[in-house]
Structure 1
Amino acid sequence: MTVSQLPEEAEVFARYLRELTALVDTGAGWCGVFWQRDPDGMRACLDGTELPPWDVLEALLQDLAAGHGAPAAERETVRARSLHEAAAAARDRRAGGRETLVERLGAMRREEAYAAERERELTARLRASTDGSEWQGLDVELAWARDDHERATARCAELSARLSALDALSRPSQGRPPAPDSWFRAEAPVEAPQAPEGLDSAPEWAHSARPAFEDTAGGRPGIRQPKRRPRGARYAGLDDDDGSGVFGAAAMPAPPVQAAAPRGARYAGVEEAAPAPAAVDSAAVAQDTRAVAETVAVLVQLRSQGRSGEAHVLLCEAAGWPAARLPVLARALHSAGLGADWPTLLWETASLPPDRVAAVAAALDRAGLGEDGRQLLRQGVARPAPEIAAALLALDDESGHEHEVRALVDAFVRVRTPEDVAQVARTDPRRLSALLLDAARQVSQSRYRDVVHALRVAGAAP
């Protein structure tokens, strides 16, 4: 396919992506990782022949935040998501678009199953290992498998949402007009990503080499060479038969042999007592039950009539419900045969503010859906570090949110780089550094040492 054959929205997004990458250091951070792991995939995305998964855009926006500050990244996140969604919808509407989505969703689900099995296998080998050098190698491989599993799960939800939107467009319901085409098109003209104030570079983004911004080592993930090229979800962006595709991923930190519950600094060394059960508000329970029953009934009707787009809108609305109501909805969806809608709902919830994500994850954990809660947290912490810091401080200011604070810290320390952890700590070292260090200690000793070093470099050591 040539660029001239691309939908207009895809060309607009490709131009935006080129302008965005011109604002970051292509030899460092996540952008550097992508170029190192899969230069052909990067070129395919930049010339518009492929569309990168959304998590790739989030990683590039993290680079932007590290180099130019959180406000610049936050400003571009809104524009990037809008253009990405428009480009995806335009691609999906092409002839054969649905078949391509179904094929990629199937491939991603196979990757998810493979990564889960690989994770179980490596965990068993790691526990049985007595050789230190072998343990270290297995440790890294296990981190790759875990990352593959997390990415595949998130991308399955993304592809499912695109498929639902496409079905709604291709099969409009009786008596209802189809969605206007403008819903799926990028607004014109599209503004280029804005360089932060005070920079001398640009705006010659589309016509010149990237600006010569200095690398800020304290805010970007490093690039490590793994023992082998890992296969998995991150390589499923292109239609390659060999399983490789767009983008490698950053080297993961050495994972723990067994995941431990996160513990904040204030709880270090203290045997935690089980929280007293909260008093049951019968009126609230009745209200939740009624709202869930009504929503599931509408979803069943919409799905039976092929009105998938309206069903997706309903799921987006449900993501904003009170946190305690979502576990009830999860069980009701599965009971009604709508289990496939649950990952989509989690995906939408992960885009909410971090404190909201943490509250929902805590509610899921209390309801016995801990794995869903952990998945939600892993997706939810992929945002600028200052935003995470603000959420942690806000939660810590309010009593009764210890579980949410600890869960959010644990997920952030596991998923993000030590430099990102240090950036969070710098917001308020007195309150956050010890909390982050304690979470890193629960991950692994190597992770703890990396975080200690990053905090010292950033001047945020406790």
Structure 2
Amino acid sequence: MERHQLPGAEGEFAGYFGDLLSRLDQRAGWCGVFWQRDPEGMTACLDGQEVPPWDVVQALLHDLAADRGTPAAEREADLARPLHRAALAAHDTRPGSRRLLAERLDLMLGEERYAIDRQDRLTAQLSEAPTPHEADRIQLDLAWARDDEERARARSEELRARIAELDEAAEQDRVPQPRTADRKKRPRGARYGWVEADDGSAADEAGPLPVPDVTPGAVGAPEGPRGARFAGGAGPVREAGPQPGREPDPAAEDPATEDPAAEDAAARAVRELVRLRAEGRAGEAYALLCEAVLWPAPRLPLLAEELEYAGLGADWVTLLWEGASLSVERLVAAADALAAAGRADDGAQLLRQGVARPAPEIADAVLALRGAGREREVVALLDAYVRVRSPQEAARFVLRDPARLTTPVLDAARAVSPEREWDVVHALRVAGIAV
């Protein structure tokens, strides 16, 4: 049946969204989940009446990666991101959009609180589960509750950014802007998070901020909001270069050894973040963090240090949430860089969050890493996986290639505890995998 689609950016994204869905199995993966849980919402997105949250597009790209490989999905992400941005911007120009976005934000915050409460209840039930079967059921419900929380948080932050952008545009319409020798008009809003101040003063002082010289497009690259917390204060910011009383840690590898500009880039990024926070420009601050996630991995520990020194520790937590959506190879590289700089807990947290993606995607990444002889990365990834995911999910992971994945998964489970090893062995046998 021919669908009625809106003209312009919304209709263009609706056409793209339909094309993406046509390449996926509608009954499998996240695509099947979305059709089952919200068929009306999916239909509205296909008709161009609604723009799906980025986390939905990101999940569909995960499905595409499982079917056609990560490189194809990364190329698709590069195409999807600007179309999605443009569609949101067009959608938010509709009359009454500010009120509607605020209502949806209230709804999402309620959903997030409910999901957190549900996790607490399920965790309490899990400790009292009378049988292994009941424990498995609770583990499954708990995994869905975690996913509900993450999606509600992601959508809340996306809505916050859109509201902030609308408010900023409305303020600009109300306040006359001074004429300058140049005003060429500078772009505004969350899409231009690296742009300097409108009057050019910050640009004259610090020069243009560097855009990371990396190739974006990791599947679910941190374009999709995933938990920005805007509680960071605007504390003092260090200038780049050695600081008095700051002694290097001889036990940790210097992450900037092969990147002389890393410390300067981190300091300048945090200066910009402090300025945006002080001006109440939360959407642009969030966009800046999304860009920073794509920096080369050795720069991340330096950025963490600068953020914490400036009193923006909450923004580092946000950045870790975003990092969980990197491609698996870049996820492991970031965790390695953090561990080498003495931030092993941050690296472990990043891996735990990152292995929440579909089992086939993790399995393919493990196989690729093993094929490249990168056993240390394989061990780190599987350790996080068997700690976070249920034994049944570990069995589904092994089903991707039992001959090559059974032994490393069992080794990882054994390293966690004898109980975890037995649980995984049992799940494998139930799944018909010889152990």
TM-score tier (shorter)? 0.5 to 0.7
Residue matched to 2:369: 392
The answer as to 2:412 corresponding to 1:436 is: no
Instruction: Give the TM-score normalised by structure 2.
Output: 0.63
* Superposition deviation, residue 453 in structure 1: 6.7
* Superposition deviation, residue 304 in structure 1: 2.8
Q: Could you give the per-residue CA deviations for residues 364-403 of structure 1, whole angstroms, max 9, x where no partner exists?
A: 7935446852564146769945762466337x73476466
Residue matched to 2:251: 278
Q: Does structure 2 retain, via aligned residues, the 8 Å contact 1:171–1:307?
A: no
Q: Does structure 2 retain, via aligned residues, the 8 Å contact 1:330–1:342?
A: yes
Higher relative contact order (CA 8 A, sep 6+): 1
In structure 2, C-alpha distance between the alignment counterparts of 1:391 and 1:314, rounded to whole Å: 31
Read off the aligned partner of 2:334 and give its amino acid letter: V
Residue matched to 2:343: 366
Q: Does structure 2 retain, via aligned residues, the 8 Å contact 1:14–1:45?
A: yes
- List gaps (5 residues or longer) in structure 1: 185-276
The answer as to 2:139 corresponding to 1:143 is: no
* Superposition deviation, residue 317 in structure 1: 4.1
Quickly say closer, same or farther: Cα 1:53–1:416, change in 2 above 3 A: farther
Q: Does structure 2 retain, via aligned residues, the 8 Å contact 1:168–1:306?
A: no
Q: Does structure 2 retain, via aligned residues, the 8 Å contact 1:412–1:421?
A: no
Q: Does structure 2 retain, via aligned residues, the 8 Å contact 1:381–1:411?
A: no
Residue matched to 1:304: 278
Q: After superposition, where does 1:13-412 map in structure 2 within 5 Å?
A: 13-66=13-66, 73-131=73-131, 134-163=134-163, 175=183, 177-179=185-187, 278-279=251-252, 281=254, 291-305=265-279, 311-312=285-286, 314-323=288-297, 325-327=299-301, 329-330=303-304, 332-333=306-307, 336=310, 338=312, 341-342=315-316, 344-346=318-320, 348-362=322-336, 363=338, 366-369=343-346, 372-374=349-351, 376-378=353-355, 384=361, 388-389=365-366, 392-393=369-370, 397-398=373-374, 401=377, 404-407=380-383, 409-410=385-386
Q: Could you give the per-residue CA deviations for residues 118-166 of structure 1, whole angstroms, max 9, x where no partner exists?
A: 2223212221333556544433332332222333344444445545655
In structure 2, C-alpha distance between the alignment counterparts of 1:25 and 1:42, rounded to whole Å: 15
Q: Could you give the per-residue CA deviations for residues 169-219 of structure 1, whole angstroms, max 9, x where no partner exists?
A: 5566974724399x89xxxxxxxxxxxxxxxxxxxxxxxxxxxxxxxxxxx
Q: Does structure 2 retain, via aligned residues, the 8 Å contact 1:61–1:77?
A: yes
* Superposition deviation, residue 49 in structure 1: 2.5
SS where residue 152 of structure 2 aligns? Answer: helix
Q: Could you give the per-residue CA deviations for residues 400-442 of structure 1, whole angstroms, max 9, x where no partner exists?
A: 646643456548966996687247547xx54x44223445676
Query: Across the two proteins, how many residue pairs are aligned to each other?
Result: 360
* Superposition deviation, residue 33 in structure 1: 3.0
In structure 2, C-alpha distance between the alignment counterparts of 1:368 and 1:150, rounded to whole Å: 20
SS where residue 148 of structure 2 aligns? Answer: helix
- List gaps (5 residues or longer) in structure 2: 193-249
CA RMSD of aligned residues (A): 4.7
Q: Does structure 2 retain, via aligned residues, the 8 Å contact 1:419–1:454?
A: yes
* Superposition deviation, residue 168 in structure 1: 6.0
Quickly say closer, same or farther: Cα 1:445–1:314, change in 2 above 3 A: same
In structure 2, C-alpha distance between the alignment counterparts of 1:58 and 1:283, rounded to whole Å: 31
* Superposition deviation, residue 91 in structure 1: 2.0
In structure 1, C-alpha distance between the alignment counterparts of 2:16 and 2:102, rounded to whole Å: 27
In structure 2, C-alpha distance between the alignment counterparts of 1:353 and 1:132, rounded to whole Å: 34
Quickly say closer, same or farther: Cα 1:94–1:178, change in 2 above 3 A: farther
In structure 1, C-alpha distance between the alignment counterparts of 2:314 and 2:6, rounded to whole Å: 31
Read off the aligned partner of 2:381 and give its amino acid letter: V
* Superposition deviation, residue 287 in structure 1: 7.9
Q: Does structure 1 retain, via aligned residues, the 8 Å contact 2:9–2:83?
A: yes
Quickly say closer, same or farther: Cα 1:48–1:320, change in 2 above 3 A: closer
In structure 2, C-alpha distance between the alignment counterparts of 1:321 and 1:98, rounded to whole Å: 33
Read off the aligned partner of 1:388 and give its amino acid letter: A
Q: Does structure 2 retain, via aligned residues, the 8 Å contact 1:357–1:376?
A: no
Please, which moves more after superposition, 367-376 or 13-22? 367-376
Q: Does structure 2 retain, via aligned residues, the 8 Å contact 1:327–1:369?
A: no
SS where residue 397 of structure 1 aligns? Answer: coil
Instruction: Give the TM-score normalised by structure 1.
Output: 0.60
Read off the aligned partner of 1:88 and give its amino acid letter: L
Q: Does structure 2 retain, via aligned residues, the 8 Å contact 1:357–1:380?
A: no
In structure 1, C-alpha distance between the alignment counterparts of 2:253 and 2:17, rounded to whole Å: 50
Read off the aligned partner of 1:301 and give its amino acid letter: R
